[in-house]
Amino acid sequence: MPLDPSAVGRSYPPTPPYLVGREKIREFAKAIGATDPAHHDPEAAQALGYADVIAPPTFPTVVSFASNNAVVDDPDLAIDYSRVVHGDQRFQYTRPIVAGDELVGRQVIAEIISRGGHDFITTRTDITDAAGEPVAVAWSKLVIRGEG
């Protein structure tokens, strides 16, 4: 059954606050092969004007992943996760993510389209800090493969 395009604009509750830890940034950077010292060494990050290590550019995935679960689990959408593949990911930053940040993601369905028997759903996660100030926006496109 195709996804209902009337779900575009649907928003989901904010994620619980995520405290960005120095070791989480280091682990993430190591996992993706990011070798910039500012991701690993607080002194290197401080030399660039940051309070602590800064996250690699794809780190918002950590925050947006939790909010993606709300979309995938939405009974009104009835997404068959066994048919889902990741289609695209992009980010827009207001400022870098720094160890010590407390981040919250608020997700909305930005687009639903069908092509070639497949559904494409794009979500936008607005990521803010503890004061509610914008930090980043993460867009994620999931492809729900059609039958056959």
Domains of the chain as residue ranges with CATH: 5-21+54-145 (3.10.129.10)
Spell out the SS3 assignment of 15-43: CCCEECCHHHHHHHHHHHCCCCHHHCCHH
User: If you average pLDDT over residues 27-52, what whole number do you get?
Assistant: 98
Closest CA to 139 of 90, 72, 77: 90
CB-based contact 60:125 (threshold 8 Å): yes
Q: What is the pLDDT of residues 62-108, one digit of tens each?
A: 999 888 888 989 999 999 999 999 999 999 999 999 999 999 999 99
> What's the CA gap between 138 and 148, in Å, rounded?
31
**What global pTM score does this model have?**
0.91
